[in-house]
Chains A and B, each alone.
Chain A
Amino acid sequence: MATKDISPQNPMIDPETGEQRVIAPGHTFRSITEKLTRIVLTPHTPLGWFFGFTLAGSIAMMLLVAVTWLFLKGTGIWGITMPVAWGFAIINFVWWIGIGHAGTLISAILLLFKQKWRNSINRFAEAMTLFAVVCAAMFPVIHTGRPWLAIYWLFPYPNTMNYWPQFRSPLMWDVFAVSTYATISVVFWYIGMIPDLGTMRDRAKSKFGRFIYGQMALGWRGSARHWMRYETASLLLAGLATPLVLSVHTVISFDFAVAIMPGWHTTIFPPYFVAGAIYSGFAMVLTLAIPIRKFYHLEDLITLRHLDNCGKVMLATGFIVAYGYMTDIAYAWYSADKWEFFMAWNRIFGPMGWSYWILIFSNIAFPLTTLWSRRLRQNVVYLFIVSLIVNTGMWFERFVIVVTSLTRDYLPSSWGTYRATRWDYMTFVGTMGLFTALFFLFIRLLPMIPMSEIRQILPGAKINEAELQHKGGD
């Protein structure tokens, strides 16, 4: 980046603070409405959209094939063996749900902290959460092999076998944590979208568009009384989603921490999992935001300030993750337990050690040394690359946790190795296709940036107190 870009003459720099602006100057209520509704309501879908959707859709087809074959043959087609009974399914599950967490962090926790800059990235971060949860939830469902037979031991309902689920099992906790997370995310996302759907209804030219958006907007008309209750409900939902998001990854870490496997049975797992989740989630926000702002020319609304702030959050959570890795090793040493000690050694230098070094490079060595630089954090290409690297690293983190512990447990006679099959890879890559395809549909059919929230941060939105005193005093 050249020096002139960060000089005070740059209109994107706020002269008062010297910071990048959250929104480009010169926008009005109308220009925001026009710009954002046009993306959805245009009759001309960009060719690039068709290209991307087709590509993502074809990758999603791989998932369909892999899952169909799985249902026909059973989980034997996967690389899971004894002792590695948990393979890609749990790795991908934890990875995807972690990605979802940044969306909730942006929409809920940053709302409670009154971080107004979050407004423009909030909606698509929430959409990212939803689609990531869809992908994540698929794994625990399909890993049962015959999910239609798993319902009776996963959901408490009266059945003819008089059977009830075992609530002391972490798998049951997962069912409730993830289903609650998915439901609350949908509600939060939809409630947040109602005023914008009202805008879409009023802007739509086609009869069909007016009808569909009209149904979805539920007759929203922007009444001041409605807005006040709406704001209360949003705050309450944010206040509920905050402990929820922390609990979801905590519960997922219990899947590991409750077991007595070396390397899993530690109290550091819940906070370390949550930090890792937010770390990878913000990386995914960047992976999505950078191409979208470029393709749809949204640099005015998703500015370098947003990207910079995402980089800062990644830096902070990355250090918590690094602390988690160190604690893992320190715990192994301090426990004076030879299995724990061997596990730590095996994780770093054992036959699967390469995966540990990939994780150290991509989660710590590369991002945490470079994200310090403000200049790099405002460099779009660098951020895009770092986001991909961190997402790879976070996947390997889960791989390391699952595979190295399971391949080398207490008894050397039960040691083994793990090798994923092509079905494992197809399922994993397929979920990425599904995620991307859903995202393409979302940006084409729904307003991806919350207009009503952007309006609040425009200069025209402020009540002029002097005028109010002058005219309202009488």
Chain B
Amino acid sequence: MPVREGIYGLLAEFDTPTELVVAAKASYNAGYRRMDCYTPYPVEEAAEAMGFDEPKEKGVSRVCLLGGILGGLAMFTLESWISIWAYPLNIAGRGKFSWVAFIIPAYEWTILWAGLCAGFGMLALNRLPAPYHPLFNAPNFRNGATSDKFFLCLEADDPRFSMTDTRSLLESLHPVSVIEVEH
């Protein structure tokens, strides 16, 4: 991938979550779509203001469900295969396919793989791990985004983005500061 150069976007800093949500709504209404909010704890309203609806996306839940089904089936099949074909044990003539006993490991594996898929699926859908991100270049970002400040970034690859208009839009929303972020 070629090295990306130039402006990543304009980053506005806010003091309270309410100001951030107001700004995100205003930018969305002004037609911006390539944008993101950055908060030190989950602010559902900010995601909604950008038109992002996780329950509708269903990504994490689907991965989790798939993992659970596959995990449970895999273990149950393995147990049945072992007990019937690979290593049948004749204990006082009892049936080989004693599925009741197999439920327990299969149940555990359902949970194991559903959980692993939910956790790692969430990271994958979020494109993490990503040790480098242009926003880390912003001097105020790392001092606040994971602690006590609220950020809105309008990204330069949005068709509506222009250094002057976007900046004046953000500045009209009473931010603490608006800065350019480079790649």
A residues lining the B interface (CB < 8 Å) = 28-30, 33, 156, 162-168, 172-173, 176-177, 179-180, 183-184, 187-188, 190-191, 195, 198-199, 201-203, 214-215, 218-233, 236-237, 240-241, 243-244, 247, 251, 254, 451-453, 455-456, 460-464, 467-468, 471-472
B window 119-142: CB within 8 A of A: 119-123, 125-126, 128-133, 135-136, 141-142
B window 24-46: CB within 8 A of A: 24-26, 36-46
> A228–B126 Cα gap in the complex (Å)?
10
Q: Do the beta carbons of A231 and B54 come within 8 Å of each other?
A: yes
Q: Do the beta carbons of A224 and B82 come within 8 Å of each other?
A: no
Q: Do the beta carbons of B132 and A219 come within 8 Å of each other?
A: yes
List chain B residues, Cβ under 8 A from A244.
108, 111, 115
Q: Do the beta carbons of A228 and B40 come within 8 Å of each other?
A: no
Contact pick for B60, options A166, A232, A463, CB 8 Å: A232
Q: Beyond A225-B52, A229-B122, is A240–B114 a contact (Cβ under 8 Å)?
A: yes
Q: Do the beta carbons of A164 and B82 come within 8 Å of each other?
A: yes
Contact pick for A176, options B21, B86, B105, CB 8 Å: B105
Q: Beyond A29-B40, A215-B131, A225-B47, is A237–B118 a contact (Cβ under 8 Å)?
A: yes
- Given contact pairs A195-B41, A219-B133, A231-B44, a sample of 5 additional A-B residue pairs in the complex whose CB atoms are under 8 Å apart: A30-B148, A173-B104, A201-B142, A219-B129, A236-B114
Q: How close is A107's CB to chain B, nearest CB, in angstroms?
A: 13
Contacts A/B (CB < 8 Å), 13 sampled: A156-B82, A165-B82, A167-B82, A187-B119, A198-B146, A202-B145, A219-B133, A221-B135, A223-B36, A236-B61, A247-B107, A463-B45, A467-B22
Q: Beyond A230-B42, A232-B60, A471-B22, is A187–B54 a contact (Cβ under 8 Å)?
A: no
> A167–B79 Cα gap in the complex (Å)?
7
Chain B at the A interface: mostly helix, strand, loop or mixed?
helix
Contact pick for A463, options B43, B83, B114, B145, CB 8 Å: B43
List chain B residues, Cβ under 8 A from A166.
89
* Chain A, residue nearest B106 (CB): A176
Q: Do the beta carbons of A224 and B41 come within 8 Å of each other?
A: no
Q: How close is A47's CB to chain B, nearest CB, in angstroms?
A: 29
List chain B residues, Cβ under 8 A from A179.
112
List chain A residues, Cβ under 8 A from B132.
219
B18 within 8 A of A: yes
Q: Do the beta carbons of A233 and B122 come within 8 Å of each other?
A: yes
B78 within 8 A of A: yes
List chain A residues, Cβ under 8 A from B107.
247
> A209–B145 Cα gap in the complex (Å)?
18
Tell me how many residues of B have a C-beta within 8 Å of chain A: 74
List chain B residues, Cβ under 8 A from A167.
79, 82-83, 101-102, 105
> A198–B86 Cα gap in the complex (Å)?
49
List chain B residues, Cβ under 8 A from A241.
111, 115
List chain B residues, Cβ under 8 A from A156.
78, 82
B177 within 8 A of A: no
> A101–B38 Cα gap in the complex (Å)?
34
List chain B residues, Cβ under 8 A from A226.
126, 128
> A168–B95 Cα gap in the complex (Å)?
11
> A195–B43 Cα gap in the complex (Å)?
14
Q: Do the beta carbons of B38 and A221 come within 8 Å of each other?
A: yes
Which one of A222, A460, A463 has the greatest number of beta carbons of chain B within 10 Å? A222
Q: Do the beta carbons of A456 and B42 come within 8 Å of each other?
A: yes
Q: Do the beta carbons of A240 and B115 come within 8 Å of each other?
A: yes
Contact pick for A224, options B37, B89, B101, CB 8 Å: B37
> A463–B52 Cα gap in the complex (Å)?
18
> A232–B63 Cα gap in the complex (Å)?
12
Q: Beyond A240-B115, A456-B42, is A229–B59 a contact (Cβ under 8 Å)?
A: yes
Which one of B75, B105, B107, B146 has the greatest number of beta carbons of chain A within 10 Å? B146
* Chain A, residue nearest B24 (CB): A224
> A203–B147 Cα gap in the complex (Å)?
9
Contact pick for A464, options B18, B26, B131, CB 8 Å: B18
List chain A residues, Cβ under 8 A from B133.
219, 221
* Chain B, residue nearest A453 (CB): B41
Q: How close is A181's CB to chain B, nearest CB, in angstroms?
A: 8
List chain B residues, Cβ under 8 A from A176.
75, 104-105, 108-109
* Chain A, residue nearest B173 (CB): A471
> A198–B122 Cα gap in the complex (Å)?
17
Q: How close is A160's CB to chain B, nearest CB, in angstroms?
A: 14
> A195–B145 Cα gap in the complex (Å)?
10
Q: Do the beta carbons of A232 and B16 come within 8 Å of each other?
A: no
Q: Do the beta carbons of B115 and A221 come within 8 Å of each other?
A: no
Q: Do the beta carbons of B115 and A187 come within 8 Å of each other?
A: yes
Q: How close is B101's CB to chain A, nearest CB, in angstroms?
A: 4
B143 within 8 A of A: yes
Q: Do the beta carbons of A236 and B39 come within 8 Å of each other?
A: no
List chain A residues, Cβ under 8 A from B143.
202
Q: Do the beta carbons of B112 and A180 come within 8 Å of each other?
A: yes
Chain B 91-106: CB-based contact to A (< 8 A → 1; otherwise 0):
0000000100110110
Q: Do the beta carbons of A229 and B41 come within 8 Å of each other?
A: no
List chain B residues, Cβ under 8 A from A227.
39, 41-43, 47
Q: Do the beta carbons of A237 and B36 come within 8 Å of each other?
A: no
